[in-house]
Structure 1
Amino acid sequence: MEEWKKSVLVGAILLILAIIFAIIRNEINIWIIFIILLAIIDIALGILRKIKKV
């Protein structure tokens, strides 16, 4: 699997897990926000890697 695909996949999984965890706990704390931000950054970097290769 290409590196950019791994990055986007890991970011998407982190994002989904953070949202599920926030729903289960019925609260959003600083750690959940931090994980969501990291997931968004990971997805963005994966997309940038794909654009650079093309």
Structure 2
Amino acid sequence: MATDEGGCACGRVRYRLRSKPMFVHCCHCRDCQRQTGSAFVLNALIETERVEILS
């Protein structure tokens, strides 16, 4: 079972994934570039009940 942890840049929000995401997607379209201010965006889809909020 996966126990990957993460959170926001300021550290106030922390979470743990109880399993691997169903899929991870990388997009390079102009809209995603505009929204992120980067060359691409990474998205992951996971079921809500598999995410544990730590703080």
Q: TM-score, structure 1 length as denominator?
A: 0.21
Q: Which structure has the highest strand share of the two? A: 2
Q: TM-score, structure 2 length as denominator?
A: 0.20
Q: Which structure has the highest helix share of the two? A: 1
